[in-house]
Amino acid sequence: MLAKLDQIEQDALEALAPLTTEEQLEAWRVANLGRSSPLMVVFTHLGQLSKEERPAIGRRANEVKGELEAALNAKNEVLQSDALQRALETERLDVTLPGRELPVGRLHIVTQTLREIARVFGDMGFQIYRSRDVEYDEYNFQLLNFPPNHPARDMQDSFYIEGSVDPDNPILLRTHTSPGQIHAMREITAQYPHDPPPIRIILPGMCYRYEQISARSEVQFTQVEGLAVGHSITFSDLKGTLSDFARRMFGQSVRSRFRASHFPFTEPSAEMDIECFVCGGEGCSVCKQTGWLELLGCGMVHPTVLLNGGYDPHKYTGYAFGMGPERAALLRHRIEDIRYFWSNDLRFLEQF
Ligand SMILES: [Zn+2]
């Protein structure tokens, strides 16, 4: 019996040594000191032993019990101090560490460019007029002198809205900001039908064209349109205003030039170039060796468009222009691919 107690002690201590968690310790306690453990069975059967045997076995059994309990307590303490040590090491508060940096947002490069354009024209007395993104064909094309089947429409393939009620006047995402010209003129001439006041506005906004996406064209892009209507506005006003804009936007020494062009809603029409600010007009890859960068399209408002806006073309004249902030940003920062603007890549966006 004494040998059996020795064995119980040895087995229990061997089983205890490798344990590492509180759950394991509890299971060990139940198995070795619990009511049905081999040691406790010895205690239960003490009464059946002879008078001679009983004291020695009882003493030894108590000894083993005391040793197992002491071993359990010691093991428990070791586990707890290990856990504390680990916590101290891993959760140590290092007050010298720099704080976590808060991500600071910023305006999109196109918004920045748009605001700069708006600021320059704002200084020249233009107001901002916001117009809708979803338009009737009538406003997007017809009233701007693009009749149905006009070839110039081919340059502006469109996203049409399904379920448009009138097949002759479908609903589409605007392909340019120009429909805003009609809205703005009509808003003013509705209030002052007999003697409408002059207009000087810029119309910024997103435009949409159903185009092949490439490094040079996207299906959505922003545009800034400008419109000035009044008495005796001439082409020299247009040239003066836009040349001044180019100087304020790109630098006082920048030169500009106008080339004849065609748009249905202006007559005469022109494209405006500025001298390449990368090479200073010498010719480089950005300006394709021409020394000039195409900046915007412009022209005198077509009499039909004035009339559609409610202004009498015999009494009023005006000019209009349109440009793309993406294009201005492309040129300025030598960005090679227009798709970066809307691909939401922070590596690109964070540079501006
Ligand atoms: Zn150049």
Question: Residues with beta carbon < 5 A to ion ligand 1?
Answer: 276, 278-279, 284, 286-287
CA of 277 to the centre of ligand 1 (A): 7
Q: What is the pLDDT of residue 152?
A: 67
CA of 126 to the centre of ligand 1 (A): 31
CA of 215 to the centre of ligand 1 (A): 19
Q: What is the pLDDT of residue 131?
A: 93
Q: What is the pLDDT of residue 284?
A: 85
CA of 259 to the centre of ligand 1 (A): 18
CA of 335 to the centre of ligand 1 (A): 14
Task: Using a cut of 0.95, tell me whether the model's pTM lies above it.
Answer: no
Residues 6+ apart with CB under 8 A from 99: none
CA of 297 to the centre of ligand 1 (A): 20
Strands 127-128 and 199-208: parallel
Let me know: does 329 contact 206? Beta carbons within 8 Å. no
Q: What is the pLDDT of residue 130?
A: 94
CA of 100 to the centre of ligand 1 (A): 44
| Phi, psi dihedral angles at 257 (to 5 degrees) | -145, 155
CA of 332 to the centre of ligand 1 (A): 11
3-state SS, one letter per residue, for 99-141: CCCCCCCCCCHHHHHHHHHHHHHHHCCCEECCCCCEEEHHHHC
CA of 275 to the centre of ligand 1 (A): 8
Mean pLDDT for each 10-residue chunk of the chain (352 residues)? 85 86 87 86 83 84 88 88 84 80 88 93 96 93 84 75 81 93 96 94 93 82 95 96 92 92 94 88 85 93 96 96 89 82 88 86
Coil vs helix vs strand at 54: helix
CA of 17 to the centre of ligand 1 (A): 80
CA of 283 to the centre of ligand 1 (A): 4
Q: How far apart are CA 156 and CA 160, in angstroms?
A: 12
Q: What is the pLDDT of residue 159?
A: 86
